[in-house]
Amino acid sequence: ETGVTQSPTHLIKTRGQQVTLRCSSQSGHNTVSWYQQALGQGPQFIFQYYREEENGRGNFPPRFSGLQFPNYSSELNVNALELDDSALYLCASSLEVLSEQFFGPGTRLTVL
């Protein structure tokens, strides 16, 4: 069984651009959560998707949006990038909403 994978590993964008980050959950996991980890900070919850519907959101503006697909993959989209969006973005999948989360290695986003 493969673990949680994320792509790309690293990404550089400029302010104002849009970015899409991808996550492939473990097979059978119907829940995915996304986190932002700024330098020197702990991961901060962005939102969670359960069976392709948003199921909870942290304190992030609407320009952070997501999608979850039936094939256990998901996307995090960020519009109008700001310098403060530079961070490591982690996705975590779980079998169910209240099950243990398994994290991917993250995507390092740099906004210039």
Partner 1 sequence: DQQVKQNSPSLSVQEGRISILNCDYTNSMFDYFLWYKKYPAEGPTFLISISSIKDKNEDGRFTVFLNKSAKHLSLHIVPSQPGDSAVYFCAASGRRGYQKVTFGTGTKLQVIP
Residues that bind partner 1 in the complex, under the rule CB under 8 A: 4, 33, 35, 40-45, 48, 55-56, 58, 90, 92, 94, 97-106
Q: Where is 14: in which H helix or E strand?
A: none
Please state the closest distance from residue 17 (CB atom) to partner 1, in A. Answer: 25
Backbone angles phi, psi at 108, to 5 degrees: -90, 110
Please state the closest distance from residue 48 (CB atom) to partner 1, in A. Answer: 6
Please state, in angstroms and rounded to a whole number, the distance separating the CA atoms of residues 39 and 86: 9
The nearer residue to partner 1, 58 or 73, going by C-beta atoms, is: 58
Please state, in angstroms and rounded to a whole number, the distance separating the CA atoms of residues 41 and 48: 20
Please state the closest distance from residue 41 (CB atom) to partner 1, in A. Answer: 6
